[in-house]
């Protein structure tokens, strides 16, 4: 399990246990003994999506163990470790670490812990959004890494890139499939907050964007996928769909329209060359290949 | 040549070059950083070559030897081109500001470099589809 997936997994697991302990009054040890098959009966104690979300993440875990609540490695989750994790979360939220037992926490404390949901989901969201911006918008990695909330205008569906290769601000139309996720994501951010940050709080650089793409590629079982190739692929797919070169150049934001055909539109293998040749008939009298 | 063209010490020259590049040539920070790295490599070469003991100088002969030095280090054509760009920019600065001999291109110095960069291959359609399908699945979870 990747770092991003593990962070999200642990948050939903621990918060699901907290809510379950408070709502069902079951002892923690007993909750940790529950099996996957107990999911439906336990979900009745929830009025939110915590357990359902956790179950989705749990289902992705490759393990033979039948525990509903387990470690991110698929092993038995111990009560002591759970208490330790809750204390850590309370500390992160700036709350007193005692008492740490779910039944002794105040409602305000639980709300505060639930408020950390985005913090734990953010690393995973970042990887997805950065890869989507490359795979759909053909943006450059350094442009993605440098984005801040104020660059995104969802009303006019425009991203304004301040730091570009040409050193001049450039407007980029937002792909319509990115509107909803971007809207949901930036709602959590402050006006001048960078879109992509590391766990230390520092801004991403282009290498982090590369790593994000590699993570998705690894998840798909693909090799040799990188931002550069994604940019080329977007251009190529557009050309294959019949989009004019000058429009592709505009999408890729080239200062010279000749750059797109020169750098990006190399024929994919021999197939496109073959298709072109098949449509090339210097004389009307064609020779049937089956005659041979 | 160094006797004819009296130059300040290299530290002063580099300071002036940075001001020149920024102020006159409107060079960006990243390009300037690359130029400085190229110059560092050139100075490294001058120090490493026992035959080049007459101090700092740029000429055809030294550029050719610099390329040999880079190739022996295992640098490829594009890296060598990058280093020559930085040294060339510095040479141009000396020409404009210190009446230094006119800079020459790598080709004029007899240096052969493979300039043409291979275009980046696109991702096969089926792989791109798998990649984007995964992203779309995950995008739906952002709410």
Judged against a pLDDT cut of 50, whether residue B3 lies above it is answered with no
Q: Which domain holds residue B24?
A: 10-115
Residue A175 has which token pair? 């792909």
The C-alpha R_g of chain B, in whole angstroms, comes to 21
Q: At what angle do helices B77-98 and B10-23 cross, to 10 degrees?
A: 90
Per-residue model confidence as pLDDT tens digits over B73-87: 999 888 999 999 999
**Cβ separation of A220 and B143 shorter than 8 Å?**
no
Q: What is the Cα A276 distance to its own chain's centre? A: 38
Cα distances (angstroms) measured from residue A173 to each of A136, A137, A156, A223, A263: 11, 8, 8, 29, 22
| Three-state DSSP class for residue B17 | helix
Residue pair A228/A163 in contact by the 8 Å Cβ criterion? no
Per-residue model confidence as pLDDT tens digits over A170-213: 899 999 899 999 999 999 999 899 999 998 989 999 999 999 99
β-bridge mates for residue A70, sequence order = A76
Residue A172: in which H helix or E strand, if any?
Answer: strand A170-173
β-bridge mates for residue B22, sequence order = none
Higher pLDDT, B42 or A164: B42
User: What fold does the segment set A118-220 form as a domain?
Assistant: hpI Integrase; Chain A (1.10.443)
Mean per-residue pLDDT over chain A, rounded: 86
CA neighbours within 13 Å on the CB side: how many for A193?
12
Judged against a pLDDT cut of 70, whether residue B119 lies above it is answered with yes
Residue A192 has which token pair? 């001048």
pLDDT of residue A99: 84
Residue A161: in which H helix or E strand, if any?
Answer: strand A158-161
Per-residue model confidence as pLDDT tens digits over B28-62: 999 999 999 999 999 999 888 877 666 788 899 99
List chain A residues with CB under 8 Å of B142: 125, 128-129, 181, 184-185
Across A144-152, average pLDDT: 93
Judged against a pLDDT cut of 90, whether residue A278 lies above it is answered with no
Query: Is B103 within the bounds of a domain?
Result: yes
| DSSP structure string for A211-242 | HHHHHHHHHHT--S--HHHHHHHHHHHHHHTT
**pTM score > 0.90 for this model?**
no
Contacts of A65 (CB under 8 A, 6+ apart): A74, A75, A76
Report the residue from A125, A185, A229 with minimal CB separation from B121.
A229
Across A40-59, average pLDDT: 88
Place of tokens 């798998």: B130
Query: Is B23 within the bounds of a domain?
Result: yes
Q: What is the CATH number of the domain that holds B53?
A: 1.10.150
With a threshold of 0.95, tell me whether the complex ipTM lies above it: no
Looking at chain B, the whole-number percentage of residues with pLDDT higher than 70 is 91
Looking at chain A, the whole-number percentage of residues with pLDDT higher than 70 is 91
Per-residue model confidence as pLDDT tens digits over A103-136: 888 888 888 888 889 989 999 999 999 999 999 9
Give the total number of structural domains in chain B. 1
**Cβ separation of B122 and A131 shorter than 8 Å?**
no
CB atoms inside a 10 Å sphere around CB B88: 20
CB atoms inside a 10 Å sphere around CB B38: 20
Query: Is B129 within the bounds of a domain?
Result: no
pLDDT of residue A97: 81
Report the residue from B28, B132, B142 with minimal CB separation from A125.
B142
Classify residue A273 as exposed, middle or buried by CB count within 10 Å of its CB (0-12, 13-18, 19+).
exposed
């Amino acid at each position: 399990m990747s770092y991003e997936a593990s962070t999200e997994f642990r948050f939903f697991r621990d918060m699901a246990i907290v809510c379950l302990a408070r709502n069902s009054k079951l002892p923690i040890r007993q909750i940790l003994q529950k099996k996957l098959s107990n999911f439906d009966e336990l979900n009745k104690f929830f009025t939110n999506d915590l357990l359902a979300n956790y179950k989705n993440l749990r289902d992705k875990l490759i393990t033979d163990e039948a525990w509903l609540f387990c470690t991110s490695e698929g092993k038995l989750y111990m009560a002591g470790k759970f208490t330790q994790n809750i204390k850590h979360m309370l500390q992160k939220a700036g709350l007193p670490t005692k008492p740490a037992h779910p039944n002794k926490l105040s409602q305000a404390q639980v709300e505060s812990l639930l408020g950390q949901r985005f913090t734990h989901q953010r690393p995973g969201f970042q990887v997805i959004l950065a890869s989507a911006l490359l795979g759909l918008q053909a943006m450059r990695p350094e442009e993605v890494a440098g984005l801040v909330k104020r660059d995104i205008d969802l009303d006019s569906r425009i991203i304004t890139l301040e730091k570009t290769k040409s050193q001049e601000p450039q407007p980029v139309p937002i792909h319509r499939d990115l509107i909803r996720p971007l809207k949901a994501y930036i709602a959590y951010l402050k006006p001048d907050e960078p879109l992509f940050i590391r766990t230390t709080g520092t801004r991403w650089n282009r290498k982090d964007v590369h790593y994000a793409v590699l993570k998705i590629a690894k998840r798909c079982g693909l090799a040799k996928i990188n931002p550069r190739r994604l940019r080329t692929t977007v251009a190529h797919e557009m050309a294959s769909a019949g989009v004019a070169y000058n429009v592709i150049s505009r999408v890729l934001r080239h200062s010279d329209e000749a750059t797109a055909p020169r750098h990006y539109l190399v024929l994919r293998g021999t197939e496109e060359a073959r298709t072109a040749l098949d449509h090339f008939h210097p004389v009307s009298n064609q020779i049937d290949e089956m005659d041979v | 040549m160094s006797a004819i063209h009296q130059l300040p010490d290299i530290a002063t020259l580099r300071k002036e070059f940075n001001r020149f590049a920024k102020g006159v040539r409107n060079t960006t920070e990243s390009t300037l950083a690359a130029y400085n790295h190229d110059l560092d490599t050139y100075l490294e070469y001058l120090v490493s070559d026992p035959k080049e003991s007459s101090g700092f100088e740029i000429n055809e002969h030294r550029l050719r030897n610099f390329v040999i030095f880079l190739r022996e280090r295992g640098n490829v054509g594009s890296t060598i081109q990058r280093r020559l760009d930085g040294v060339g920019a510095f040479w141009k600065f000396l020409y404009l500001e210190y009446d230094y001999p006119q800079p020459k291109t790598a080709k004029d110095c007899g240096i052969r470099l493979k300039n043409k960069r291979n275009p980046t291959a696109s991702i096969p359609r089926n792989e791109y589809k798998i990649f984007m399908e995964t992203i779309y699945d995950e995008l739906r979870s952002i709410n």
